[in-house]
Structure 1
């Protein structure tokens, strides 16, 4: 397959429109459309929906990971051979797409970003998703690597353990006091909870151990900083990573927040999964992730 055609296909998926993808590749819209049509003619199937945003069809999803790997290998080969384009200073940029859960991105993964800041030849495309679901982005070809809680490698990938991320159940004492029964016990079915997204099952799983399947109120706060702040304000209870707990909470010295004794902390085992066919840039990223995880995880 022509790598220019594959590159146009991947760029269309990433950018969402043919116009934006064509602009990045510095070609006309008609030339871009011709590349997509040529690729679809070669494989004998429609690969992209002509919608906004553009999305891959079922056949396109099957091709997407292969296309990304092919482009990555070509770019690495060009860079290692000192390929020069029209500019004497031209060097191909290596794009690495990675899925990371939001809590990881806001904590120990920042060390990876600090290290990557010194890589002039690598472009990181980060996708945030719950750690229960990041492997799905690896499976469908959206990314080439992922921080995930799944230890079993996705087909065509390899996996390694990174460490444990502990989440503590935290609530405002004032919030809990407002939902105590006459016996002094917290009525958990009435206590509002906070989820990061509709796919966040951490709090629901913890409540299930108390026999509660559906809390009265579930707030959705899709920001790590805002989520932690919302717990602090008493909007609801939530699970907060150990490294992001306010000072004094674990020791019982915080003026309002407290660890919820009825709910056990949740230890999430994180793993690093990436394509089995690696390149120097992907290996470099893996080494940076290993170093950051060694310092930031249990």
Structure 2
């Protein structure tokens, strides 16, 4: 397959429109369309929906991971062989990271990557229980995930453990206590990062209840602020805990002892393809994870 055609296909998926993708590649819209059509003609199937945003069809989704691997390998080969102009080419690494890692220990990866001038990072924030789906579907070439079993064509390495503690405003809990002093957990609002966030639901299962109200706050900073302001209770990583909560000295926030902590065992999964840029990034992830807090 022609890698120019594959690159056009991948870029269309990443950018969402043919217009934006053609601009990224520095070619005309008609030339871009011809590349996509040529690839579709070669495989004998429609690979992209002509919608906004552009999405891969079922056949396109099956090809996407291979297309990313081939374009990545071409970029690395051109650079290593010293092709004319190859030194100016940028290798794009698409990586899935859970939001809490991205906000804490993964910052050290970004700090190290800031010294590279040949790599472009496309980070996808997703719950750690679902990042492997992006890897399996070809959207990313590597992922921080809870899943230890390698996705086909990938290898997995244990990174470490993030410990989450259930935290709530004491005032919020007091508003939902019965005459016997027990908290009615079914009535205490819960804060989730997204609809796919299962940390809080898993915690409540230990008590055998389900919340009546669940707030969705898709921002780490806003999530922690929502818990601090008493909007609801939530799981907060130990590394982001407000001062005094763990010691029981915070003026309002308390640990919810009856629910207890939850641990997320994180793994790094990446393509087995030996691309130097991906190898370098993997080394940076391992170094950062060694200092996980």
Match of 1:101 in 2: 98
The equivalences for 1:232-271 within 5 A come to: 232-271=228-267
What's the offset of the Cα at 1:102? 0.5
The unaligned stretches of length 5 or more in structure 2 are none
Q: Partners of 2:103 and 2:41 in 1: how far apart? A: 43
1:220 equivalent in alignment to 2:195? no
CA distance in 2, matches of 1:95, 1:278: 15
Question: 2:186 — aligned with what?
Answer: 189
Verify: 1:147 aligned to 2:171, yes or no: no
RMSD between superposed Cα atoms in Å:
0.9
Q: Determine the structure 2 residue equivalent to 1:167.
A: 164
For structure 1, list consecutive stretches of 5 or more residues without a partner in the other structure.
none
The CA distance in 1 between the partners of 2:59 and 2:212, in whole Å, is 42
The alignment status of 1:114 with 2:111, answered yes or no, reads: yes
Counterpart position of 2:135: 138
Determine if the alignment matches structure 1 residue 199 to structure 2 residue 196: yes
User: Secondary structure at the residue paired with 2:88?
Assistant: coil
Q: Distance in 2 between matches of 1:90 and 1:134?
A: 32
Displacement of 1:130 in angstroms is 0.4
Say whether residues 1:281 and 2:280 are aligned partners: no
Match of 1:61 in 2: 61
CA contact (8 A) 2:79 2:87 kept: no
CA shift, 1:278, in A, is 2.1
What's the CA shift for 1:296?
1.4
SS of aligned partner of 2:274: coil
Deviations 1:106-157 (A, max 9, x none): 0000000000000100000000100000000000000000000000000000
Cα distance in 2 for partners of 1:120, 1:215 equals 48
Q: Is the 8 A contact 1:83 1:91 kept in 2?
A: no
Question: What is the CA–CA distance in structure 2 between the aligned matches of 1:130 and 1:246, rounded to whole Å?
Answer: 22
TM-score normalised over the length of structure 2: 0.99
Q: Compute the displacement of 1:277 (Å).
A: 1.1
Look up the SS of the partner of 2:286 in the other structure.
Answer: helix
* Residues 82, 91 of structure 1: 8 Å contact kept: no
How many equivalent pairs are there? 293
Cα distance in 1 for residues equivalent to 2:274 and 2:142: 10
Q: 1:3 matched to which residue of 2?
A: 3
Q: What CA distance in whole angstroms lies between the structure 1 residues aligned with 2:259 and 2:84?
A: 59
Q: Distance in 1 between matches of 2:82 and 2:192?
A: 48
Of 264, 268, 272 in structure 1, the residue corresponding to residue 268 of structure 2 is: 272
Q: How far apart in 2 are the matches of 1:72 and 1:101?
A: 23
In structure 2, the residue matched to 1:72 is: 72
